[in-house]
Amino acid sequence: MSMSESGLSFQHEARLDFLVPFNNAPHKSLLPSRPRRIARRRPPPEREEERRGAAAGEAGVGGAGSMCDLVARTGRHQQRYEDGRRLVAGCIPFRYRANNDETSDDKHKKLVEVLMINSQSGPGLLFPKGGWENDETVEEAAAREAIEEAGVRGDIVHLLGFYDFKSKTHQDACCPEGMCRAAVFALHVKEELTSWPEQSTRQRTWLTVPEAASQCRYQWMQEALLTGFSEWHDKWSRSGGGTNCDPA
């Protein structure tokens, strides 16, 4: 989800177990009692699949189980907070392709590319990221944002670090100054979806690491790419981590 962010691009080596959900819902005993409802009998699974498939067909997209069934999450009622910061999960999606540069000494090596998306609030490109909610792990949140914003699925490979930043547009009672902390992961892309929740407002672009660094909208994302992803990927590749990855 797009934000206007500035400054405070610090990387943290921290544990995930200190990040706990903030529950601002009213106590259950204070809620008014609800009238009893008569449960409806659920249709057989095959009937439900037929119904969903028909609805998808009317919408002009794929059948049952297609991306039309996935909707981007909105709202803050399940948002996590810690020490006055909104907790965010994001990822740097990457893939490999053959290096066809005949002038390069590394022409037999695979070239790594990272995926970026456009910002909805100004120039520059972004990596997928958004709020970490209290019904999911931080890894699940990062993978969900990759699907919602960039339309890609893959494997979460490594936690690159934690990065603090300030959002000018997302301020609320739990973080009045707009402070956020993002956990950023490396995500090895295995599938690019043709339909995804934010496809009407997001364009995807595959870039080399130097190209991506020059187009990062925010300094903290550039730092996550250069000091987080690049340094980790160099070590991972030397240890044989990328040898089983076929170039795209």
**Which CATH number characterizes residue 187's domain?**
3.90.79.10
187-225 per-position pLDDT tens digit: 999 999 999 999 999 999 999 999 999 999 999 999 999
Identify the sign of the CA torsion 151, 244, 155, 111. Answer: negative
Average confidence (pLDDT) over 172-181: 76
Phi then psi dihedrals of residue 75, to 5 deg = 90, 170
Q: Is residue 62 a part of any domain in this protein?
A: no
Q: Is residue 70 a part of any domain in this protein?
A: no
12-48 per-position pLDDT tens digit: 444 444 444 444 444 444 344 454 454 455 555 444 4
User: Own/partner pairs for 190-194, CB < 8 Å, 24+ apart?
Assistant: 190/153, 190/154, 190/155, 191/152, 191/153, 191/154, 192/151, 192/152, 193/67, 193/147, 193/151, 193/152, 193/153, 194/67, 194/151
pLDDT at 178 over 60: yes
pLDDT at 133 over 60: yes
Q: Is residue 65 a part of any domain in this protein?
A: no
What is the spatial distance between Cα 35 and Cα 49, in angstroms, rounded to a whole number?
Answer: 31
pLDDT at 53 over 70: no
Q: If 0-12 CB within 10 Å is exposed, 13-18 middle and 19+ buried, where does residue 213 land?
A: middle
Q: Is residue 40 a part of any domain in this protein?
A: no
Cβ-proximal residues to 70 (8 Å cutoff; 6+ apart), any chain: 147, 148, 196, 197
What is the spatial distance between Cα 93 and Cα 87, in angstroms, rounded to a whole number?
Answer: 20
pLDDT at 72 over 60: no
User: In which domain, by residue range, is 184 found?
Assistant: 7-24+75-238
Where does the pLDDT of residue 107 fall: very low under 50, low under 70, confident under 90, or very high at 90 and above? very low
Choose the weakest-confidence range: 45-49, 59-63, 98-102, 196-200: 59-63
What is the spatial distance between Cα 28 and Cα 19, in angstroms, rounded to a whole number?
Answer: 24
What is the spatial distance between Cα 122 and Cα 91, in angstroms, rounded to a whole number?
Answer: 20
For residue 48, which of 70, 65, 61, 71 has the smallest C-alpha distance? 65
Place of tokens 């670090």: 161
Q: Is residue 126 a part of any domain in this protein?
A: yes
Where does the pLDDT of residue 93 fall: very low under 50, low under 70, confident under 90, or very high at 90 and above? very high
pLDDT value, residue 78 = 84
User: Structurally, how many domains does the chain consist of?
Assistant: 1
Q: Is residue 49 a part of any domain in this protein?
A: no
Q: If 0-12 CB within 10 Å is exposed, 13-18 middle and 19+ buried, where does residue 130 land?
A: buried
Q: Is residue 208 a part of any domain in this protein?
A: yes
Q: Is residue 45 a part of any domain in this protein?
A: no
